[in-house]
C-alpha cells in the first residue's frame, strides 16, 4: 500500500474523511502526539490499527470526539465528575475512562467493560472528526514500543506502506500523550500522567489517586489498570539509564563513562560540560519543554547510533510527572542513584 501524505487544506481534509468513512487508516495530528485513526464504531477498521502498529490486542484505544455531547452515545452513563472535568479541560490533552455503551466494539476496548474518550483541542483533529462524521479510535501513530510520533515524518518512518494516509499538520504542541483518568473506579484514579497535571485534576475533583504503575514497574501477578502501562514503552534502541543526583554528580559520572556510542540526554546548557554527544531537552525547571522534546530526542539517539544514553529526569510534579513516567519506561525503570 502506498501511504499518501495529505496537506492540511480542504482537499486533504476531504480525502482523510473519505478514507476514514471507507474503513481505512489515517495518521492525524493532535495537540499531544500524532494518532492513528479509524472509525471507532467499525471493529474491522479498528483491527487494522493493531495490525499496522503491531500493537498487543489487549491494549485498548482512545475514542476521539469533536463535541462534548457525542460522549452520551459512547458511554453507559455520564457522571457529574465527567462533566466537571470536561468543562475544565476539554477540548484538551485529557482522556476520561467510563463504562462503555453497547455500540463500542470489543476491538476498541480490548474486551474491557470500559471505554476511553477524549475531545482533542487541535483544530485539524477536530476538523477530521467533524468531516468524517465519526468518533475516531486512535492510539499513537507509531510502531508499538517505539517513541510516540510528534511529526508526520515520524509517522511515515514507522508506518509508511502500512496505512492509507497521514495528514501533515506540523509538529505537535504538548509532545507527550494525553493524561488518562478513570472515573470507573471510586475515587477517580490517574492511570497515565500527561499535559493536564494531577494537581489540576485534584483542583476539580478533590481526591484523585495515582495508580502505582505511573512510576513503578508492575509487580508480578498484578493486573494493569491501564494495559498500556505494562509494556516497556517509548524506547529507543539504545539502553537508557536515568542518573539521579546533583548537576555535578551527573556530569562527573557521564564524563567518567565516556566511550564511543555513549550519549547524554541533559538539561539546556549542560552539554558544554559533557565530553559525550548530548541532546538538551529543556531547562532544568522547564517540564513543558522537556515533554515537547522528549520523543524527538529519543528517536534522534537511534539515528545517531547511540547504544547507551545517560538521562536526566525532572521531579515527578506537574508536567514533570509525565516526562518522568515516559522516561522511566524508556529506561525500563533503570535508575542509578549517584553519591
Q: Which residues bind ligand AMP (CB under 6 A)?
A: 59-60, 62, 97, 109, 112, 114-116, 139-140, 177, 180, 191-192, 226-229
Closest separation between CB of residue 36 and ligand AMP, Å? 8
Kindly tell me which of 57 and 170 has the beta carbon lying closer to ligand AMP.
57
Kindly tell me which of 176 and 306 has the beta carbon lying closer to ligand AMP.
176
Closest separation between CB of residue 239 and ligand AMP, Å? 23
Residue 114 touches which of Mg ion, ligand AMP, none (Cβ within 5-8 Å per kind): ligand AMP
Closest separation between CB of residue 139 and ligand AMP, Å? 3
Q: Which stretch binds Mg ion (CB under 5 A): 40-48, 61-69, 138-146, 309-317?
A: 138-146
Residue 235 touches which of Mg ion, ligand AMP, none (Cβ within 5-8 Å per kind): none
Kindly tell me which of 143 and 284 has the beta carbon lying closer to ligand AMP.
143
Closest separation between CB of residue 148 and Mg ion, Å? 5
30 binds Mg ion (CB under 5 A): no
140 binds Mg ion (CB under 5 A): yes
Closest separation between CB of residue 97 and ligand AMP, Å? 5
Residue 112 touches which of Mg ion, ligand AMP, none (Cβ within 5-8 Å per kind): ligand AMP
Supply φ then ψ for residue 308, to 5 degrees. -135, 135
Task: Write a three-state SS string for the chain.
Answer: CCCEEEECCHHHHHHHHHHHHCCCCEEECCCCCCEEEEECCCHHHHHHHHHHHCCCCCCCCEEECCCHHHHHHHECCCCHHHHHHHHHHCCCCEEEEEEECCCCCHHHHCCCCEEEEECCCCHHHHHHHHHHCCCEECCECCCCCCCCCCCHHHHHHHHCCCCCEEEECCCCCCCCCCEEEECCCCCCEEEECCCCCHHHHHHHHCCCEECHHHCCCCCCCCCCCCHHHHCCCCCCCCEEEEEECCHHHHHHHHHHCCCCCEEEEECCCHHHHCCCCEEECCCCCCHHHHHHHHHHHHHHHHHCCCCEEEECCCCCCCCHHHHHHHHHHHCCCCEEECC
Kindly tell me which of 55 and 100 has the beta carbon lying closer to Mg ion.
55
CB 144 within 8 A of CB 55: yes
In the region spanning residues 64 to 103, those forming contacts with Mg ion, defined by CB under 5 A, are none
- Closest-CB residue for ligand AMP? 228
CB 41 within 8 A of CB 134: yes
Closest separation between CB of residue 283 and Mg ion, Å? 27
Kindly tell me which of 88 and 110 has the beta carbon lying closer to Mg ion.
110
- Cα–Cα nearest to 226, from 104, 84, 110: 110
- Closest-CB residue for Mg ion? 140
132 binds Mg ion (CB under 5 A): no
Kindly tell me which of 139 and 236 has the beta carbon lying closer to Mg ion.
139
Kindly tell me which of 135 and 139 has the beta carbon lying closer to Mg ion.
139
Kindly tell me which of 189 and 251 has the beta carbon lying closer to ligand AMP.
189
CB 40 within 8 A of CB 178: no
Instruction: List interacting residues with Mg ion (CB under 5 A).
Output: 139-140
Amino acid at each position: 500500500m502506498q501511504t499518501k501524505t495529505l496537506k492540511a487544506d480542504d482537499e486533504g481534509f476531504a480525502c482523510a474523511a473519505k478514507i476514514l468513512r471507507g474503513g481505512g487508516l489515517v495518521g492525524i495530528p493532535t495537540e499531544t502526539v500524532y494518532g492513528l485513526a479509524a472509525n471507532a464504531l467499525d471493529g474491522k477498521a479498528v483491527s487494522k490499527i493493531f495490525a499496522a502498529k503491531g500493537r498487543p490486542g489487549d491494549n485498548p484505544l482512545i475514542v476521539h470526539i469533536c463535541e462534548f455531547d457525542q460522549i452520551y452515545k459512547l458511554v453507559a452513563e455520564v457522571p457529574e465528575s465527567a462533566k466537571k472535568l470536561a468543562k475544565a479541560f476539554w477540548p484538551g490533552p485529557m482522556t476520561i475512562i467510563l463504562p462503555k455503551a453497547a455500540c463500542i466494539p470489543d476491538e476498541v476496548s480490548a474486551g474491557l467493560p470500559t471505554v476511553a474518550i477524549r475531545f482533542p483541542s487541535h483544530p485539524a483533529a477536530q476538523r477530521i472528526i467533524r468531516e468524517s462524521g465519526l468518533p475516531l479510535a486512535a492510539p499513537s501513530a507509531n510502531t508499538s514500543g517505539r517513541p510516540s510520533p510528534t511529526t508526520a515524518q515520524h509517522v511515515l518512518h514507522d508506518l509508511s506502506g502500512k496505512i492509507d494516509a497521514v495528514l501533515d499538520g506540523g509538529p505537535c504542541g504538548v509532545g507527550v500523550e494525553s493524561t488518562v483518568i478513570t472515573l470507573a473506579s471510586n475515587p477517580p484514579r490517574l492511570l497515565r500522567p500527561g499535559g493536564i497535571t494531577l494537581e489540576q485534576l485534584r483542583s476539580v475533583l478533590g481526591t484523585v489517586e495515582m495508580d502505582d504503575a505511573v512510576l513503578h514497574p508492575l509487580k508480578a501477578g498484578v493486573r494493569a489498570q491501564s494495559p498500556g502501562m505494562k509494556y516497556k514503552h517509548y524506547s529507543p534502541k539504545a539502553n537508557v539509564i536515568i542518573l539521579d543526583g546533583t548537576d555535578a554528580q551527573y556530569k562527573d559520572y557521564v564524563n567518567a563513562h565516556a566511550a564511543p556510542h555513549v550519549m547524554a540526554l541533559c538539561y539546556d546548557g549542560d552539554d558544554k560540560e559533557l565530553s559525550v554527544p548530548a541532546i538538551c531537552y529543556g531547562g532544568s525547571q522547564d517540564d513543558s519543554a522537556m515533554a515537547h522534546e522528549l520523543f524527538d530526542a529519543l528517536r534522534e539517539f537511534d539515528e545517531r547510533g547511540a547504544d547507551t544514553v545517560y538521562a536526566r529526569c525532572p521531579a515527578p510534579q506537574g508536567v514533570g510527572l509525565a516526562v518522568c513516567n515516559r522516561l522511566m519506561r524508556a529506561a525500563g525503570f533503570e535508575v542509578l542513584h549517584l553519591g
